[in-house]
Amino acid sequence: MTAASLFITGTDTGVGKTHVARLLLQQAAAQGISCVGFKPVAAGGRQTADGFRNEDALELQAAANVRAPYELINPYLLREAVAPHIGAAVEGVKLQAGRIFAAHADLAAQAELVIVEGAGGWQVPLNDKLNLGELVGMARWPVILVVGMRLGCLNHALLSADAIRAKTTLLGWIANCLPPAQPRREENLSTLLTRMPAPLLAVVPAEGEKLAFGWPVLTDLSIRSLMP
């Protein structure tokens, strides 16, 4: 079995990449797709009974319907919650594309779909020669952009979209509504709807919030339609 892969990036750190990646895994599983999460590089975590673990990677592991060992889901775990190239330098670790691709290939052999979650935003450096977007371009993974709906999202979304399309395919974007509610959010969504060079796939409400009628929701999204 060779899986399709979808790479989840965001307009910034803290915009809900993990939340959306988890929802996509749950949606895929509900639609009968065997799926697994992949967090190639994570920074920061906590000590557990099984060892030092990253919360985002654990969420992806729990949401998938294909069981895989943590070390395969998250091949690089850096202890300090900083930019990956800085954390790696502190620990004397070299973040290498070959190790990431090898772990991905092992996961892809076990599932129909691999949901790959990035670290930070699209251009975050991995080492002195490679950034995350370049690695995704090398892998030719199509991308879903998570747009955190807050002040500045228009600029961040449009710049990110252009940068992604320079390296690989931008399948679409998902608007993640962040608390507190963004002033004039409907107007911001409408602006992005007309200016983004890829379709709006879904709007994810904040916890306990109801969306205005008419915006697409993730539970109506066909995951197979996104799989190359």
C-beta neighbour count of 99 within 10 angstroms: 13
Confirm whether 210 is a catalytic residue: no
51-53 and 46-48 as β-strands: parallel, antiparallel, unpaired?
antiparallel
Taking alpha carbons only, the member of 7, 24, 38 closest to residue 102 is: 38
DSSP string, 109-134: TT-SEEEEEEEEETT-BSSSS-BHHH
Catalytic-role residue among 17, 39, 94, 210: 39
Taking alpha carbons only, the member of 17, 52, 51 closest to residue 37 is: 17
CA distance 178 to 90: 32
CA distance 17 to 23: 10
State the catalytic residues.
Answer: 39
